[in-house]
Amino acid sequence: MKESKCTKIETTKPSPRNNHSCCSINDKMYVFGGISNTVYLNDLWVYDPSSNTWEEKNPSNKPSPRYIHSAVNLILLIQMTYGYMTQKIILGKKKHQLLNLNQILEADIQHR
């Protein structure tokens, strides 16, 4: 059996997060959104395992920050669906509110 090993990435990389979406397209991994501590995210990162590097993409029309969503590869399109969490400040305290918008969003990565 071949032995596996982990390699630490010494480059710019996304912040630690959970409840993000992730999918693989053309041997690269795309990660969108999620939550980091109490911050909702709407950043898009691409990991290239051949070079062991991360790159942040900054599309002009990215969706609002969200987590608890999903993504799927549809032939060079990333389609994200389902609702997302948002937060409101009520009487000086952050309150979480689940909004189920049933959105379908597409990102055309072929022309980037």
Question: What pLDDT is stored for residue 73 in this prediction?
Answer: 73
Is position 46 within any domain?
A: yes
Question: What pLDDT is stored for residue 99 in this prediction?
Answer: 60
The domain total for the chain is 1
Is position 9 within any domain?
A: no
**Residue 48: domain span:** 21-108
Q: What is the DSSP letter of 16?
A: P
Q: Give the tokens for residue 64.
A: 């609002």
Is position 44 within any domain?
A: yes
Is position 92 within any domain?
A: yes
Nearest of 66, 65, 59 to residue 82 by alpha carbon: 66
pTM equals: 0.72
Is position 45 within any domain?
A: yes
Is position 97 within any domain?
A: yes
Is position 96 within any domain?
A: yes
Q: What is the DSSP letter of 75?
A: S
Local mean pLDDT, 10-residue blocks, the chain (112 residues): 75 91 88 88 92 89 80 62 54 60 62 50
